[in-house]
Amino acid sequence: MNAPILTGDSITLALGGNAILESAYVDAVAGEITALVGRSGAGKTTFFKVLVGERRPTRGQVRWRGERIARPSLPLLARKGLFYHPDRPWLARHLTFVDHMALSDKRDWHQVAESLGITGWVQRKVGSLSEGELRLTELAVGFALQPAVALLDEPFRGLEPLHREQVAHALRSLAGNGVAVLYADHDVESVRRTADRLISIEGGATRLVEGFKERPLHDWYHAWPL
């Protein structure tokens, strides 16, 4: 296995006396798709917010290629090669996909747009897109930035089956090109098809699940709400 690029190590976060994360660990490894899996409220989104500096952990550290980042922030990590897709819409509603790409010096976005099937609306304002179209457009903007790490919070949410398959294909293509993909999801069957590694999170604690593709679901995740 390659060395991790982005690591959240021993992250503990308490809010109002409640432990949201407890010595949680996650990492993103070049060329691999890692899924952080847990039910709603398990701490997935909070963990991602800690990684990009939106939340300050009580304890623990964020590392980039092994080097501790004292005060992580999205701009800082983006300049190193991170793309962060949060669980809320984040593109400018009054701009088009093409307008967004004009913000960056990356000109090679046509292939990304084609692979995610968004070519039909690259000139439409983001605010006029459906939820599924918006999700794909957000991912296309991020992937076109050619990140070293893609940190994606529920990238499949709100997508139709065809679009889900396009996103899964895009993730595999990114990983095939050496990108470290780390995404949060709660759809275990989708994770089984897409991810190379699985880290489960429950009650703010994480654990690496070995052999999740072969083992029956109840064997490794007893508490999963089926």
Partner 1 sequence: MDTTGRRQRTEVQADVSVVRWLRSALFHSYLRRFVLLWIAGKIANAATASAIHLSPFAFRPGTEIVLLGFELGVIVVFIKRNNEDVLLGNLGLRLPAALAPLAMVHFVLSALLAVLAG
Nearer to partner 1, 37 or 170 (CB): 170
Site membership for partner 1, residue 1 (CB under 8 A): no
Residue 119's region, left for phi above 0, alpha for psi from -120 to 50, else beta, is alpha
CB of 175 to partner 1, least distance (A): 10
Site membership for partner 1, residue 72 (CB under 8 A): no
The residue from 2, 56, 68, 104 that contacts partner 1 (CB under 8 A) is 104
The residue from 56, 59, 68, 93 that contacts partner 1 (CB under 8 A) is 93
Site membership for partner 1, residue 181 (CB under 8 A): no
The residue from 146, 158, 165, 220 that contacts partner 1 (CB under 8 A) is 146
Q: How many residues does the chain have?
A: 226
| Radius of gyration, CA atoms only, the chain | 17
Segment interacting with partner 1, rule: CB under 8 A, options 69-77, 186-194, 198-206, 207-215: 69-77
* C-alpha–C-alpha distance, residues 189 and 197, integer Å: 13
CB of 203 to partner 1, least distance (A): 27
Site membership for partner 1, residue 145 (CB under 8 A): yes
Q: Is 102 exposed, middle or buried (0-12, 13-18, 19+ CB in 10 A)?
A: exposed
Which sign, positive or negative, has the C-alpha torsion 49, 45, 179, 93? negative
Nearer to partner 1, 30 or 201 (CB): 30
User: In the chain, where do the E strands start and end?
Assistant: 4-15, 18-29, 33-37, 59-64, 67-69, 82-85, 149-153, 180-185, 197-202, 205-209
CB 91 within 8 A of CB 139: no
Mention every residue, 6+ apart, whose C-beta is less than 8 A from residue 222: none
Strand-strand pairing, 59-64 and 149-153? unpaired
The residue from 4, 117, 142, 204 that contacts partner 1 (CB under 8 A) is 142
Site membership for partner 1, residue 122 (CB under 8 A): no
Site membership for partner 1, residue 60 (CB under 8 A): no
Position 12: which residue type?
Answer: T
Query: Site residues for partner 1, window 154-173 (CB under 8 A)?
Result: 170, 173
Site membership for partner 1, residue 78 (CB under 8 A): yes
- Binding region for partner 1 (CB under 8 A): 31, 52, 73-75, 78-84, 86, 88-95, 99-100, 102-105, 108, 111-112, 115, 141-143, 145-148, 170, 173-174, 176-179
